[in-house]
Chains A and B, each alone.
Chain A
Amino acid sequence: MREKILTFIEKNSRIDLEELAIILGVDKITVMNELEAMESEHIICGYHTLINWEKAGVERVTALIEVRVTPQRGMGFDKFAERIVNYPEVDSVYLISGGFDFMVTLSGKTLREVSSFVSDKLSPLETVLSTKTNFILKKYKDHGTVMGEPTKDERMKIVP
């Protein structure tokens, strides 16, 4: 049941709970209890809104920063991650396999804001070996959602 609830609300967290219960074929109480439990267990970590900032006319810059670091004795990579996650401008921090260690995504109002974060905050850290900043030029798809205009229903309106 949990997986079903999660799969559904991952795409639509604003659905009316009664409606969700009907769709899943269970009681509203069951859905409410599960949601509450998953919130307190931190399985559900938040309910966010997917915004097309460009369309909203708000200037925003997003960067993907590849970071190579020296793992620290006894702490591995966690120490670096714990420092970085505290910055509010950091959107996400992932440890990854391959040619570098961390992928940090960052958004700021201007290019300068982002680059000064990299040069003033990130690079000076002792453990950081190198960084590579990639600015996002255009978002085509985000969180499973295509950012363009919604498609129109082009089917014939009545089909036997």
Chain B
Amino acid sequence: MRNPLSKQIVEIQPSGIRKFFDIVSEMEDAISLGVGEPDFDTPWHIRDEGIYSLEKGRTFYTSNAGLKELKVEICNYLERKYNLKYDYNSETIVTVGGSEAIDVALRAMLDPGDEVLIPQPSYVSYEPCAILAGGKPVIIELKEENEFRLTAEQLENAITEKTKILILPFPNNPTGSIMSKTDLEAIAKVVIDHDIFVLSDEIYSELTYGEEKHVPVATIPGMQERTITINGFSKAYAMTGWRLGYACGPKEIISQMIKIHQFAIMCAPTTSQYAAVEALKNGDGDVETMREEYDGRRRYLLHRLNKMGLPTFEAKGAFYVFPCIKHLNMTSDEFAEKLLRTAKVAVVPGTAFGRCGEGFLRISYAYSLDDLREALDRIEVFLNDLNAGKVK
């Protein structure tokens, strides 16, 4: 029989955390700090709208780009929150999670050989999506000394004649790093000088802590016309399973994205779209409550990790911290595996998010305080044993 597979897909490596997933799944008493989704349930009034839409029999396709009502609410939200103005009709598309928006945007914009700049550590899908879209991923390694922010200098050095798109994954999974307005202005200058485009994945935009609030890169002068802003409902409203996201950007790009989306997906789930309208209309309070809760856990984790000898920079976004283990003379993979086998705590090795994540771990705080306390107690004992030479 002939080989049924595409060479390209076979060459793409599966996500590096698969191995851990398999071990953890079999360990009944393991505490996992490896989850990248909120621990909250979707607020009831949002679920209720979804249920109501089903009761009313709203079980048909919506238009390809999404329900008009939802697109209008998305644009209202971006305007009231960031003074970012998009036309709901021509500059907005509702997608199946932020993930689909990333994929569709790359496919709409890349020609074979175009280079895509991907800062890492970052979410696992950018690189394979860029390859599948015919592009060539070029990795920019973010540095801890910059708090894992992207600097204009790093960007400048990575740009070639073939560079077409820069992916901006902030607030960042897995580091928790954010970009300030000043940081973005410096990036914008380089982007405009070299006439490249930005795909800004802002799925964690509602989750920043402290004084610095999230700034969409499209609000920087000159950037809106060259930026695709991607966001969604998963993280802000604890709606991961609803699979709903969106992208806003110049109409020339959005209209092509709608074409791909139309042929591949048809439309995002109708029930989810109705629920999302409610989320945007009346969900600000829920977001605030969850953010407060995350912030407390974040402070608790930072305090304890630093105290127990895992230096951790102050992450100000998303729901992750990214402690450093370089001083322990083992790889992230080894550490994570030992921690799991001896202390029964699962964390994700930084390398799952790019080679430069080596020496770091991603710890999620999408867990109750009780779970976090128990897990940290176990990690502390593990570290003491490790230092005493008791762990093999």
Contact = CB atoms under 8 A, between A and B. Distances in A.
B258 to A, nearest CB: 27
Interface in A48-96: none
Contact of B21 (A8, A153, A156): A156
A22 B353 CA distance: 29
Given A19-B300, A22-B300, A159 B37 contact: yes
A24 B35 contact: no
A25 B297 CA distance: 10
A160 interface: yes
B296 interface: yes
Interface stretch (B3-11, B24-32, B154-162, B273-281): B24-32
B35 A157 contact: yes
B310 interface: no
B348 A158 contact: yes
Interface string B196-224: 00000000000000000000000000000
Interface in A117-160: 153, 155-160
A158 B346 contact: yes
B134 interface: no
Nearest to A153: B39
B223 to A, nearest CB: 28
B20 A158 contact: yes
A156 B35 contact: yes
B356 to A, nearest CB: 16
A23 interface: yes
A19 B303 CA distance: 10
A159 B123 CA distance: 11
A159 B35 contact: yes
Contact of A160 (B296, B300, B346, B352): B352
A34 to B, nearest CB: 16
B34 A159 contact: yes
Contact of B35 (A8, A25, A155): A155
B36 interface: yes
Nearest to B32: A157
A66 B162 CA distance: 78
A8 B34 CA distance: 26
Contacts of B17: 158, 160
A157 B24 contact: yes
Nearest to A12: B369
Contacts of A23: 296-297, 299-300, 369
Interface in A9-47: 19, 22-25
A85 B37 CA distance: 47
A135 B341 CA distance: 53
A22 B352 CA distance: 30
A158 B30 CA distance: 12
Contacts of B20: 158
A103 to B, nearest CB: 25
A155 B21 contact: no
Nearest to B367: A153
B152 interface: no
Contacts of B37: 155, 159
A153 B41 CA distance: 10
B303 A22 contact: yes
Contacts of A25: 299
A31 to B, nearest CB: 13
Given A157-B35, A160-B348, A160-B352, A22 B123 contact: no
Nearest to B38: A155
Contact of B36 (A19, A22, A24, A159): A159
A19 B346 CA distance: 23
B32 A158 contact: yes
8 contacts: A22-B304, A23-B299, A23-B300, A153-B39, A155-B39, A159-B35, A160-B17, A160-B352
Interface of B: 15, 17, 20-21, 24-25, 30, 32, 34-37, 39, 123-124, 173, 296-297, 299-300, 303-304, 346, 348, 352-353, 369, 373
Given A157-B32, A157-B346, A160-B123, 8 more contacts: A19-B373, A155-B37, A157-B21, A157-B25, A158-B17, A159-B34, A160-B124, A160-B348
The 3 closest A-B pairs by CB, nearest first: A23-B296, A158-B34, A157-B32
